[in-house]
Amino acid sequence: MADASPVTNRKQVAILDFGSQYSHLIARRVRELHVFCELYSCLVSADELRQHQLTGIILSGGPQSVFDEGAPHVQPEVWQLIEEQKLPVLGICYGLQELAFTNNGKVAPSQNREYGKAFVTRKNGVDCGGLFEGLPDEFQMWMSHGDKLHQNPEGFVDIATTENSEHAAIVNVARKFYGIQFHPEVTHSPRGKDILRNFVVNICNSPTDWDMRSIADAFIEEVRETVGPEGHVIGAVSGGVDSSVAAVLLQRALGDRFHAVVDRLQSKLGINLKCIDASDRFLAALKGVKEPESKRKTIGNLFIELFQEEAERIGHPVDFLLQGTLYPDVIESISYKGPSATIKTHHNVGGLPEKMHLKLIEPLRELFKDEVRELGMALGIDEPSVWRHPFPGPGLAIRVLGEITPEALKTLRHADSIFIEELRNSGHYKTTGQAFCVLLPVK
């Protein structure tokens, strides 16, 4: 939610992302423990972090070497904040190396790169600071690194080793600084979640109150305050889980002051819907457009234009636009290297005109897809809507490679219908995260 968020004042663990492909998994695993967390660029400022009630910091892995010129590092002011607030820190893989490097430890390339399963052995008689509480003397973890720690920083001790890493896990108990060379967030680390639980719950003392019912109640109250007693909101409902859950939340908060546009779900969701057929306008705008990024921006601009027109027809002042943006949407559009490193504009976050007249409300902005499904079930939304596969904001336009034509869309719809029907008949629809057809420009 752009203007107000039901989680703004919630205590949280901050995950600083150094570009690891696993960073989002850290966030998911922590939230599965009912602890709220958010992902930030590793270059986040101390001022931004001070706006939140932090209970601890996790430093993610990353593809670079900490000793290379231009490698990303935590801002000095953030380390000052950590010391001031006495925040526990857990460094994972690159995060361990960043923790050690910043504290004058020695990190260098490893002669034996570790990639894959490894057995971690705890060091007997050494205080692990609670990180390995309840774990056996030896446990399996997943390694993925080419550099390693060669000499501990002052005040740190080893608490675990592997065959190729004598510093597989380190700790400074007094400062509550922990470093692990392995990845506890991946499924190949069976006891990884126990380590994360020990850190975020026992060491950081984070509240375990992150549940979907409280999020719904908090958002309903927040949106009422934001929109006011007479304000109106407009939003699109595609029938997918994201837009359906967002629409039901708005309906609970505002009643008839929420105006849902598109699709045929009134009987299922109990909301007042108006259908707009703008296919001709979209096809006209997309004529001759072949490049995917241009398609996204063209559709995004026209999408908002249509909503502004509809808002003017409602007969009430409409100041807000509902969007079903999810947390992965936000993560996807953020890079610690800045906008130049963004691969593409996201369907929901990007492609919106700067001078749009409607403010955005994004109630699902802090949620992962599985959390949205849980919330949908808690709200009583029907199962087919809750389990419907994700559908891109720009629609089938980005699943047709090349120019968009009515004939191409018809062919793709028919093929996709057959494919999804067979997937349902085989019983694999719910166990598949996403499945779809793409029309290639070949004959």
What residue type is assigned to position 417 of the chain?
S
The confidence score (pLDDT) of residue 272 equals 58
Q: In this structure, is residue 434 part of a structural domain?
A: no
Full strand arrangement of the beta sheet holding 318-322: 273-274, 258-261, 232-236, 318-322, 359-361
Q: Taking a C-beta distance cutoff of 8 angstroms, is the pair 168, 120 a contact?
A: yes
* Average pLDDT score over the chain: 86
At residue 312, the pLDDT reads 79
Rounded CA separation 300/294 (Å) = 10
Q: Reduced to 3 states, what is the DSSP secondary structure of residue 33?
A: coil
Lowest pLDDT segment from 153-157, 169-173, 327-331: 327-331
Average pLDDT, integer, range 155-161:
96
pLDDT (tens digit, 9 = 90+) per residue, 337-362? 543 344 455 555 444 445 557 788 88
Describe the chain by its helix, strand, coil percentages, rounded to 5.
35, 20, 45
Given a contact cutoff of 8 angstroms between Cβ atoms, the answer to whether 157 and 105 are in contact is no
Q: Which run of H or of E encompasses 408? A: helix 406-425
d(CA 260, CA 257): 10
**Domain co-membership, 238 together with 220:** yes
For 414-424, write each residue's pLDDT tens digit: 999 999 999 99
70 and 128 share a domain?
yes
- Model pLDDT, residue 269: 56
233 is in an annotated binding site: no
Look at residue 264 in the predicted model and tell me its pLDDT: 43
Rank 29-33, 248-252, 335-339 by mean pLDDT and report only the highest: 29-33
Let me know the angle formed at the C-alpha of 290 by 289 and 293, rounded to the nearest 5 degrees. Answer: 90
Within a domain: residue 412?
no
Given a cut of 90, whether residue 30 has pLDDT beyond it is yes
HSE (side-chain half, CA atoms, 13 Å) at 309? 8
Residues 28 and 62 placed together within one structural domain of the fold = yes
Closest by CA position to 306, among listed 352, 339, 348, 265: 352
Q: Which residues are catalytic?
A: 93, 183, 185
Same domain? 142 vs 191: yes
Same domain? For 251 and 386 the reply is: yes
The stretch 129-136 carries a mean pLDDT of 97
Q: Within this chain, do residues 179 and 247 fall inside the same structural domain, yes or no?
A: no
Helix orientation angle between 241-254 and 212-227, rounded to the nearest 10 degrees: 60
The answer on 126 and 245 residing in a single domain is no
Residue % of the chain over a pLDDT of 90 = 51
- Domain count for the chain, please give it: 2
- If one compares 272 and 394, the residue with the highest pLDDT of the two is 394
Query: Residue 107 annotated as binding?
Result: no
What's the confidence (pLDDT) of residue 238? 73
Check whether 244 is labelled as a binding-site residue: yes
Instruction: Give the pair of three-digit tokens for residue 292.
Output: 């995917």
The stretch 101-128 carries a mean pLDDT of: 88
| CATH code, domain carrying 180 | 3.40.50.880
Domain identity same for 171 and 318: no
Q: Is 146 annotated as a binding residue?
A: no
pLDDT of residue 181: 94
243 is in an annotated binding site: yes
Residue 23 in marked binding region: no
Residue 388: both structure tokens together: 């419907």
Listed in sequence order, the residues at least 6 apart from 212 whose beta carbon sits closer than 8 Å to its beta carbon are 371, 374, 375, 378
Helix-helix angle 212-227:369-378, to 10 degrees? 90
**Domain range for 53:** 12-203
In this structure, what are the phi and psi dihedrals at residue 303, rounded to the nearest 5 degrees? Answer: -55, -50
pLDDT at 394 over 70: yes
**Within-domain flag for 427:** no
* Mean pLDDT, rounded, for 4-27: 84
Backbone angles phi, psi at 16, to 5 degrees: -95, 120
Predicted pLDDT of residue 265: 43
Q: What is the pLDDT of residue 142?
A: 92
Q: What value does the mean pLDDT take over residues 216-235?
A: 86
| Whether residue 96 is found in the same domain as residue 190 | yes
- Amino acid identity of residue 305, one-letter, is E
Query: What mean pLDDT is predicted for residues 35-40?
Result: 95
For position 224, which CATH number holds?
Answer: 3.40.50.620
Write out pLDDT tens, residues 293-309: 888 889 888 887 887 78
Pick the residue with more confidence: 182 or 110? 182
**Distance between CA atoms of residues 410 and 413, nearest Å:** 5
For residues 191 and 219, state if they share a domain. no
Q: What is the pLDDT, as a whole number, of residue 348?
A: 53
- Burial (Cβ within 10 Å: 0-12, 13-18, ≥19) of residue 390: middle
| Residue 266 covered by a domain | yes
Question: Tokens 């859950």 appear where?
Answer: 245
191 pLDDT tier (thresholds 50, 70, 90): very high
